[in-house]
Amino acid sequence: MEKSVEEQLLNRLEDLGEEELKLFHWYLEKGPGGDFTTIKKSRLENARKDGRHGTVDLMVETYTTHHVMEVAELILKKMNEVEEIQQYRASGSLSTGKLSPAQCSALTFILLSSEEDLDEFDFKKYSASEEALLRMLPVVKASNKALLSSCNVSEEGCENMLSVVSSQSCSLRELDLSTNSLKASAVKLLSAAVESPHTKLDVLRLNICELSEENCEALSSVLSSQSSSLTELDLSIRKLQDSGVKLLSAGLQRLNCKLNTLRSDQKTFVFRIIN
């Protein structure tokens, strides 16, 4: 007699050890892949109270009997990638800068579940693609310092990343987005994120080829915002109009400005910040 879908799924889960089951649940929460939805952490925690049977019931309820095994197979495949990455790291043969987005997802779980210090996260060590960066945003969120230079972040990617930066649970204190050639819309998003009362950023590093007057106005607002905790702003600017200089200067002179360091390679003007 052929086993039901529920029995087949239960058998697969019973083959997993406790750490493997933890990883399986992590993928259900973060995204199993494809177009399948995620499951909230609170629902997974409730399901775990009933053991593997609880997970089976929750998955069938979420994905239906038509798709639940497909979801399980997607997750098990990702779990194999985690094992591969662990083996590469243990042997010292992890190819830096060349990981696929799927491998970056696996590495994200490893970094977040390990005892390793997440004081500094240098994305270039692992990949250079925006898709991979978006999969590693949970690591950015848990780090004190994130080096994301030369990632070619698009406006959409910037929006996703900055929603993480401005979240209440984000630990980030220093963000380096140098040499990303951020567009005007991205600068506005960045300014809004830094102004968020939940953002803990102290240091922001940018390399922007050109700052329009509109962008300077947005940055000036950040400098004078009462909710901003920014104390250091590093700008590498090749072209800045006089109106932009005036706007940034005005932001620096506001009473709410906490900035004590502003760096720039501009040769025609110097900001002096006196507290």
Domain boundaries, the chain: 5-91, 101-264
For 144, phi then psi, to 5°, come to: -85, -30
Taking the C-alpha atoms of residue 229 and residue 224, their distance in angstroms, rounded to an integer, is 10
Q: Which amino acid is at 88?
A: Y
What percentage of the chain exceeds 70 in pLDDT?
A: 78
5-91 carries CATH number 1.10.10.10? no
Query: Any idea which of 47-51, 122-126, 260-264 has the lowest mean pLDDT?
Result: 260-264
Query: What pLDDT sits at residue 268?
Result: 35
Tell whether the model's pLDDT for residue 274 goes beyond 60. Answer: no
CATH code assigned to 101-264 = 3.80.10.10
Based on the number of CB atoms within 10 Å of its own CB, is 158 exposed (0-12), middle (13-18) or buried (19 or more)? buried
If one compares 218 and 50, the residue with the highest pLDDT of the two is: 50
Query: What pLDDT sits at residue 61?
Result: 95
For 122, phi then psi, to 5°, come to: -105, 100
What percentage of the chain exceeds 90 in pLDDT?
A: 27
Per the prediction, the chain carries an average pLDDT of 80
* Model pLDDT for residues 80-121, shown as the tens digit of each residue: 888 888 887 777 666 656 777 778 888 888 888 776 668 899
Tell whether the model's pLDDT for residue 211 goes beyond 50. Answer: yes
Strand, helix or coil for residue 219: helix
Taking the C-alpha atoms of residue 254 and residue 231, their distance in angstroms, rounded to an integer, is 14
8 A C-beta contact, residue 148 and residue 125 = no
pLDDT band at 267; cut points 50, 70, 90:
very low
pLDDT band at 258; cut points 50, 70, 90:
low
Strand, helix or coil for residue 120: strand
If one compares 205 and 216, the residue with the highest pLDDT of the two is: 205
* Model pLDDT for residues 43-92, shown as the tens digit of each residue: 999 999 999 999 999 999 999 999 999 999 999 998 888 888 888 777 76
Which residues on neighbouring strands pair with residue 220, listed in sequence order?
Answer: none
Tell whether the model's pLDDT for residue 209 goes beyond 70. Answer: no
Mean pLDDT for 228-255 is 67
Mean pLDDT for 1-26 is 90
Tell whether the model's pLDDT for residue 172 goes beyond 70. Answer: yes
If one compares 261 and 238, the residue with the highest pLDDT of the two is: 261
* Model pLDDT for residues 138-170, shown as the tens digit of each residue: 999 999 999 988 877 777 888 888 888 888 888
* CA distance between the termini of the chain: 80
Tell whether the model's pLDDT for residue 227 goes beyond 90. Answer: no
Query: What pLDDT sits at residue 25?
Result: 94
Taking the C-alpha atoms of residue 232 and residue 103, their distance in angstroms, rounded to an integer, is 34
Mean pLDDT for 221-239 is 70
pTM for this one? 0.71
Provide the b/e sequence for 213-250 (b: ≥16 CB within 10 Å): eebbbbbbbbbbbeebebbbbbbebeebeeebbebbbe
pLDDT band at 249; cut points 50, 70, 90:
low
Taking the C-alpha atoms of residue 88 and residue 73, their distance in angstroms, rounded to an integer, is 23
8 A C-beta contact, residue 176 and residue 147 = yes
If one compares 260 and 103, the residue with the highest pLDDT of the two is: 103
Taking the C-alpha atoms of residue 182 and residue 180, their distance in angstroms, rounded to an integer, is 5
